A and B are shown apart, each in its own frame.
Chain A
């Protein structure tokens, strides 16, 4: 009776699948165990018989020629081409959307800052007598300080927008 714990390791040893340390251990065991030596001999015999017995099939000599003939008849289908085109269009559209999704938050961010600048400007004009004093008297009366604030907001908003969008600003400057 051989030793069950060595069975698979003996096979691994015969197939050179054991690490060097384990190899020495299994070889040591084989030297002192006649049952396992007999098993190893049996594994070897079986291995040799299988190596000879497993059929070695071979492709026909005209395999490639026949295949190429069939391939020539099967040109890459138009549907594949259409699929590739559709994928390319989809990728282009996705790229376009990505550009938009990148640009839109920037625009909103900029507009937000411009509106904030307008509000701060309006508040300053509304509650700062010194700034109200700078505006022409016929525009600003004590009763219409809210109008003055609104006007101040519009001015600051415009300043904010022109800072945020230099290109339209340059175009406007060119017109004038």
Chain B
């Protein structure tokens, strides 16, 4: 799968190699960034940054690791840096009286459609999962349940991905049991 890209790198055709990389990894990098950052706009910006890093790094790529491993590692590291930055930023407290007024003025997120209600509940349940479980579940469904791909993207052994998925689903069942309306 990567042979044609490597051939172009060997002959220093970096532009052509980059185009092939972009075509093959653009969406995967975006989905990985989204699963880690939980924000579509930030994930898109991150994908841009990652591909600029890839472009700058292509001449120095020595092929020790596979291209996909290299790209996913760049993505994970960039996202972790962003998450660390986020953690140090001041946050708005929901206890702020002014903010409480604004929140109270918003229309309640209610729906009469039981199907969309369940989906909204599943999203709420996902948000309650520990981060490592939420990431693996999100990516698992985004990648059409491709276990090996999820393991490669998260840089985890396949067994760890399977264990985390199992534990995440057990946790979701427990959360659903506390909210009888959710998966009913």
Contact = CB atoms under 8 A, between A and B. Distances in A.
Contacts of A55: 34, 40, 123
B52 A71 contact: yes
* Residue with the greatest number of chain B CB neighbours at <10 A, chosen from A12, A45, A66: A45
A115 to B, nearest CB: 47
B86 interface: no
B147 A46 contact: no
User: Closest 3 A-B residue pairs measured CB to CB?
Assistant: A53-B122, A54-B141, A49-B122
Interface residues of B, number: 44
Interface of B: 14, 18, 22, 26-27, 30-31, 34, 40, 43-44, 47-48, 51-52, 55-56, 58-60, 115, 118-123, 126, 137-138, 141-142, 145, 147, 162, 165-166, 169-170, 172-173, 176, 182-183
A11 interface: yes
Nearest to B14: A76
Given A42-B183, A45-B183, A83-B60, A57 B43 contact: yes
B126 A53 contact: yes
Main SS of chain A's interface residues? helix
B78 to A, nearest CB: 15
A54 B126 contact: yes
B56 A15 contact: no
A159 B40 CA distance: 84
22 contacts: A7-B166, A45-B183, A46-B172, A46-B176, A49-B183, A53-B119, A53-B122, A54-B137, A54-B141, A59-B30, A63-B47, A64-B26, A66-B48, A70-B48, A70-B52, A71-B18, A71-B52, A76-B58, A76-B59, A80-B56, A83-B59, A84-B59
A174 interface: no
Contacts of B170: 7
Contacts of A20: none
Main SS of chain B's interface residues? helix
B145 to A, nearest CB: 7
B51 A67 contact: yes
A59 B118 CA distance: 26
Given A17-B147, A46-B173, A83-B60, A59 B51 contact: no
A45 to B, nearest CB: 5
Contacts of A76: 14, 55-56, 58-59
B119 A52 contact: yes
Interface string A57-80: 101100110110011001011001
A142 interface: no
Contacts of B118: 49, 52-53
Interface in A74-102: 74, 76-77, 80-81, 83-84
A147 interface: no
Given A46-B183, A76-B56, A80-B60, A57 B30 contact: yes
A167 interface: no
A142 B116 CA distance: 121
Given A59-B30, A71-B55, 5 more contacts: A8-B166, A11-B165, A43-B173, A45-B183, A54-B122
